[in-house]
Amino acid sequence: MPDMIFFLLAGLTYVSVPCLSMERGDFVPPDSVFSAFGMERSESGWLATQLKEVRIKVDDGGIKLNDNYYRAPDSFWKDDVLYMSAEFLSFILCKVIKGYAYWDRNKKRFFVTGDDPTITSISLEDIGDSVCLTVKYAHGVHLKPQADPSSPSLLTVGVPGGFYWKAFRLEGSGPVKEVVIAHTESGLTLRIPLNEGAAGFGIQDRSDLFVVSVYKAKKLREPQQKRRKIDLIVIDAGHGGKDPGAVGHNDLQEKDITLPVALALKRKLEKELGAKVILTRNDDRFVTLGDRARIANRAGADLFISLHCNWSKNKDACGVETYFLAAARTDWERSVAAFENKAIEYEGESVDKSDTVGYILSDMIQNEYLKESQDLAAFIQEGIVATTNFENRGVKQAGFYVLRGCYMPAVLVEMGFVSNKLDAKNLQKKEVQEDIVKGIAQGIKEFIRRYER
Ligand SMILES: [Zn+2]
């Protein structure tokens, strides 16, 4: 057996033992661990005397500490040596040594510290439409989690300064396969493998805890529902409150057009389709881009329609265009999305920046609805062109933040240019607004005709 090495540095003790690194984790022989930590070998196993007297008995399946048996996940024999998960052994060590032992995944060694863990509990709970991982801090501690959605099948959350000894792995639920808790000297890492039932995630960061929510894909939420009913629609009146949106001809503000059109559209859809319609705002107030999508997701909406007005330096530019979420192909598409995304600047300090990383996964969600969003955009564009005299600028695509967070077919309508004299005049007319509403409703009806079953 190789020599054991001891270090002592800045209150940390390092203990190296032979290690086998495998895809599912690091494995070390329990006997060499107990020997390296100075336990006495007895006829029936090992004897720990640091904290109190603990009889340690190792068998193929786990470890017995006095009368308590702990099952080891994935233990195995190799060349007549029994190996167990290093994280499992650090959990065992914490129960028998002075201080806390952690396995450092990067450096492949145990480190021991006398400091109390900064995290007091980690738990996973299925709350219906999502699975929540709650991490609570010790008194007076505040940590900053950093999410890294490295791939759709693996979410990694780093917690610098986070130390927790109780669990090394949590059973999964729904879209979460499991939660693997691993340490390095600088803190804790939560590895969260996801299955295809995951539809994105968000992090809520509070002073005493943080929560990682993994959202369930709709089909996972309603496995028994074969029929598809499209009768819950979210209408999003762009901008509002301190965010006027585009300001155009005669100081016409975009937010003052989007609201009356949204209100009229709600009335029409409820009356003619019997649909339930939810507005993201029904008065002149500010709503963040993230909250607009969240309102739709929480309601489990079937469609999301965001209403906006266009703007251009070129005062001759006019007409209507409808967008779905996809990479922009032209400078114009890019500039329209950049203009609308600027609304995020009004969100100031209150923006939950950690949530923005969720967009990477969210883009994949809108991919799931790409074809349907594209069709919805086409039907709405056709409808408005048929019912109004606005110029037809066609269906377009770009990366709008407000659409990214939506787990349903979602489109953004640019109903005309506030910067164009004639469009601006028309947009303010009640009867033209009614025509736009009629056109959008026609488009939605066509979508329902094609997709409802
Ligand atoms: Zn806008």
User: How many angstroms does the Cα of residue 357 sit away from the middle of ligand 1?
Assistant: 23
Q: What is the pLDDT, as a whole number, of residue 58?
A: 93
* Domains, the chain, ordered by start: 5-113 (no CATH), 119-221 (2.60.40.3470), 232-451 (3.40.630.40)
Q: Taking a C-beta distance cutoff of 8 angstroms, is the pair 88, 74 a contact?
A: no
User: How many angstroms does the Cα of residue 240 sit away from the middle of ligand 1?
Assistant: 10
> Residue 389's CB: how many other CB atoms inside 10 A?
10
Q: What is the pLDDT, as a whole number, of residue 364?
A: 52
The residues pairing with 237 across neighbouring beta strands, listed in sequence order, are 307
User: How many angstroms does the Cα of residue 363 sit away from the middle of ligand 1?
Assistant: 20
Q: Is 393 left (phi over 0), alpha (psi -120 to 50) or beta?
A: alpha
Amino acid (one-letter) located at 161: G
ipTM: 0.99
> Residue 227's CB: how many other CB atoms inside 10 A?
6
User: How many angstroms does the Cα of residue 412 sit away from the middle of ligand 1?
Assistant: 9
User: How many angstroms does the Cα of residue 365 sit away from the middle of ligand 1?
Assistant: 23
User: How many angstroms does the Cα of residue 202 sit away from the middle of ligand 1?
Assistant: 25
User: How many angstroms does the Cα of residue 55 sit away from the middle of ligand 1?
Assistant: 69
User: How many angstroms does the Cα of residue 226 sit away from the middle of ligand 1?
Assistant: 36
User: How many angstroms does the Cα of residue 437 sit away from the middle of ligand 1?
Assistant: 17
User: How many angstroms does the Cα of residue 385 sit away from the middle of ligand 1?
Assistant: 20
* CA terminus-to-terminus distance, the chain: 68
Q: Taking a C-beta distance cutoff of 8 angstroms, is the pair 401, 292 a contact?
A: no
Q: What is the pLDDT, as a whole number, of residue 260?
A: 98
User: How many angstroms does the Cα of residue 290 sit away from the middle of ligand 1?
Assistant: 15
User: How many angstroms does the Cα of residue 309 sit away from the middle of ligand 1?
Assistant: 6
User: How many angstroms does the Cα of residue 214 sit away from the middle of ligand 1?
Assistant: 30
If you search the block for the tokens 């650090």, which residue do you land on? Answer: 90
> For 199-215, how does the pLDDT look when each residue is reduced to its tens digit (9 = 90+)?
888 888 888 889 898 98
Q: Taking a C-beta distance cutoff of 8 angstroms, is the pair 300, 232 a contact?
A: yes
Q: What is the pLDDT, as a whole number, of residue 441?
A: 97
Residues in the chain, pLDDT under 50 = 1-10, 350-361
As a whole number of angstroms, the distance between CA 388 and CA 433 comes to 9
Q: What is the pLDDT, as a whole number, of residue 98?
A: 82
As a whole number of angstroms, the distance between CA 118 and CA 244 comes to 45
User: How many angstroms does the Cα of residue 429 sit away from the middle of ligand 1?
Assistant: 19
User: How many angstroms does the Cα of residue 359 sit away from the middle of ligand 1?
Assistant: 20
User: How many angstroms does the Cα of residue 46 sit away from the middle of ligand 1?
Assistant: 70
Q: What is the pLDDT, as a whole number, of residue 38?
A: 85
Q: Is 115 left (phi over 0), alpha (psi -120 to 50) or beta?
A: beta
User: How many angstroms does the Cα of residue 246 sit away from the middle of ligand 1?
Assistant: 6
User: How many angstroms does the Cα of residue 345 sit away from the middle of ligand 1?
Assistant: 13
Q: What is the pLDDT, as a whole number, of residue 135?
A: 93
As a whole number of angstroms, the distance between CA 80 and CA 224 comes to 51
Q: Taking a C-beta distance cutoff of 8 angstroms, is the pair 66, 54 a contact?
A: yes
User: How many angstroms does the Cα of residue 375 sit away from the middle of ligand 1?
Assistant: 22
The residues pairing with 394 across neighbouring beta strands, listed in sequence order, are 321
> Residue 262's CB: how many other CB atoms inside 10 A?
23
As a whole number of angstroms, the distance between CA 291 and CA 287 comes to 6
Q: What is the pLDDT, as a whole number, of residue 362?
A: 52
Q: What is the pLDDT, as a whole number, of residue 11?
A: 60
User: How many angstroms does the Cα of residue 337 sit away from the middle of ligand 1?
Assistant: 9
As a whole number of angstroms, the distance between CA 56 and CA 379 comes to 71
User: How many angstroms does the Cα of residue 395 sit away from the middle of ligand 1?
Assistant: 17
As a whole number of angstroms, the distance between CA 428 and CA 422 comes to 10
User: How many angstroms does the Cα of residue 298 sit away from the middle of ligand 1?
Assistant: 23
